[in-house]
Amino acid sequence: MNRLLLIATVLFTVLSFPSCKEDDPTPMVWEFSNYDREAISAVYSPDYVNQVAIVASPEYSGDITLKCTNYSQLTLNANNADGTFKK
């Protein structure tokens, strides 16, 4: 009886470990549009999760449109009180 209980416990433990693994989030896929390609460098690198790099000179004033193509809803938290992103 103890042997049967031990086998059942081991079997339950082995089967429950894979179910504890969290699924990795789906990486976001980004598109860039409506920007001056000579003044702004915009790169999406799928090698890293959610990796987007946008670089412009400090004196540049303009817009860039980012679109996440594989999520239907997205929330961004601005890092400035006026709702803009600046580094």
The per-residue pLDDT string of the chain (87 residues; one tens digit each, 9 = 90 and over) reads 677 777 777 666 666 665 545 666 777 888 889 888 888 888 887 776 557 888 888 888 888 888 888 888 877 776 777 766 665
- Per-residue model confidence (pLDDT) at position 4: 75
- Per-residue model confidence (pLDDT) at position 57: 83
As given in the structure block, the two tokens for residue 39 are 């003044």
- Per-residue model confidence (pLDDT) at position 42: 85
Q: Which of 72, 63, 68, 27 is nearest to 48 (CA)?
A: 27
CA 47 to mean position of chain CA atoms: 11
Phi, psi values for residue 36, rounded to 5°:
-80, 105
- Per-residue model confidence (pLDDT) at position 29: 83
